[in-house]
Amino acid sequence: MNALIENVQILRDVSGHPAFAVVPFAQYQALIADKPKAKRTIPNKVVNLAFDKGISATAAWREHLRLTQAEVAARMGISQAAFAQMEAAKRPRNTTLEKIASAMGLSIEQLAW
């Protein structure tokens, strides 16, 4: 990907050498969007959360990523209550899954199982 990354913050180690680059979340998502889908997997912890707690794949991923409903909703530009309804849906629409996946930095395939 040759896209220009703006608003990068460079964090340096104690020696003054660049150690990390911090980029806005939307730009990070754009960077990982080009990764092959085959390498995007579903961790066993996510599957276990969904089945053990009887929650949706979306809720399991959200808990695994240690995000609140309010945090994901804010990333999507919607209210927490609206996201709660999406998260509880038994068969969410593909467009809904795409929006949620984007907000969580996941592929739609990781949510649609």
Pair (76, 44) in one structural domain: yes
Considering only CA atoms, which of 68, 65, 2, 63 is closest in space to residue 30?
2
Tokens representing residue 28 in the block: 């990070």
Per-residue pLDDT at 60: 96
pLDDT tens by residue, 71-112: 999 999 999 999 999 999 988 999 999 999 999 999 999 998
Per-residue pLDDT at 1: 42
- Tokens 């991923």 belong to 61
Per-residue pLDDT at 3: 54
* Containing structural domain, residue 51: 37-111
Number of domains in the chain: 2
Pair (105, 73) in one structural domain: yes
Pair (44, 73) in one structural domain: yes
Cβ burial of 107 (10 Å; 0-12, 13-18, 19+) is: buried
pLDDT tens by residue, 24-77: 888 887 777 765 554 578 999 999 999 999 999 999 999 999 999 999 999 999
Pair (81, 49) in one structural domain: yes
Counting every residue written for the chain, the total comes to 113
